[in-house]
Amino acid sequence: MSTAAPLPTAPGRADPPRRAVVTGAAGFLGSHLVEELLARGTEVVGLDSFLTGTPQNLAHLSEHPGLRLVRCDITDYVHVPGDVDLVLHFASPASPVDYLKLPIETLKVGSIGTMHALGLAKDKGARLVLASTSEVYGDPQVHPQPEDYWGHVNPVGPRGVYDEAKRYAEALTTAYRQTHGVDTGIVRIFNTFGPRMRPHDGRAIPTFIRQALAGEPLTVAGDGQQTRSVCYVDDLVRGILALAASDHAGPVNIGNPTELTVRQIAEDVIAATGSSSVVEHVGRPVDDPQVRRPDTTLAAAALGWKPEVDWADGLARTVAWFRDAVVPGAGRAVPPTR
């Protein structure tokens, strides 16, 4: 259990922020955050380079008067005119396929991009929430993982570009809070799934669903006994916005503590899709974590948060979306302003 003392939510933030900036707004998580903020009455400026995200993720919001989507690389100069109450820094390649292909870009967005996001929050007097990750724990030697566990990361391994980018981003965020008084919070996100995941992004659940719907073998790494704790995206968004509405500096784990083996995830996907696919075992990636489960004691105590969508229900929703998803490139996308 984490020894960090929980802080109460801030009574002055009972109302939603009037205007928020979301970096990585066209990504899987970013687009869900944008959607929920708009539903709560917050005006949103979405920044995205579209390196891994796509405007198609926000196509259903194309006519919303509260959304402005801007093509912007957060590692370059960033200017947002007007008042801003909240900055959600969610820009980064997040799947192994992406960050192994884009190692320098991943490190830059974790360092330079985080500095620019913090600078924006400092200039606007806004609260900033940094999207960190359970990957800061590496291949953990403590299980489940509490926030006060320092992790077991290989900085020169193939996954190090993502792990260390996020660890550096946490250190930089903490430095801005302590040195400049920036109001910051850090969320450590555990495995998340739901609609708008890219079928070929390399993560287990979208890969398994894509393979099952195509009648292909589901490629399970190793013997499949390694574990993951998977959280449905709606629950994650509630947790992130609860942290944003608090005074808590974090880090705070947000994830579903229900632990599943990768083999079980694959078998459940086959059952949920009604597929005739079989499981095929392949080699495990280098530094692939053996176990992964969040200790969510702090999130419950400080934020009043716990997951509500169980694995079977979340999986059914995700499979339904994959079945009905618009073909990439079709439909109307939100046009970026530049």
Q: At 227, which helix (H) or strand (E)?
A: strand 227-229
- Contacting residues for 311 by C-beta, under 8 A, at least 6 apart: 230, 256, 258, 260, 268
Query: Which among 221, 233, 236, 211 is positioned nearest to 289, based on CA atoms?
Result: 221
CA atoms of 94 and 27, how far apart (whole Å): 10
Question: 212: number of CA atoms within 13 Å, CB side?
Answer: 25
Other Cβ atoms less than 10 A from the Cβ of 65: the count is 7
DSSP 57: G
Give the integer Cα–Cα distance in Å for 222 and 201: 19
Rounded distance, CA 246 to CA 7, Å?
A: 8
Q: What angle do CA 320, 326, 332 make, to 5 degrees?
A: 140
Dist CA 214 CA 202 (whole Å): 16
Q: Which residues are catalytic?
A: 162
Tell me if residue 35 falls in helix, strand or coil. Answer: helix
Cα(182)–Cα(204) distance, integer angstroms:
36
**Beta strand pairing call for 86-89 and 67-71:** unpaired
Q: Which residues pair with 261 in a beta bridge?
A: 227
* Alpha carbon separation from 265 to 55, 184, 221, 269, 325 (Å, rounded): 30, 35, 12, 6, 21
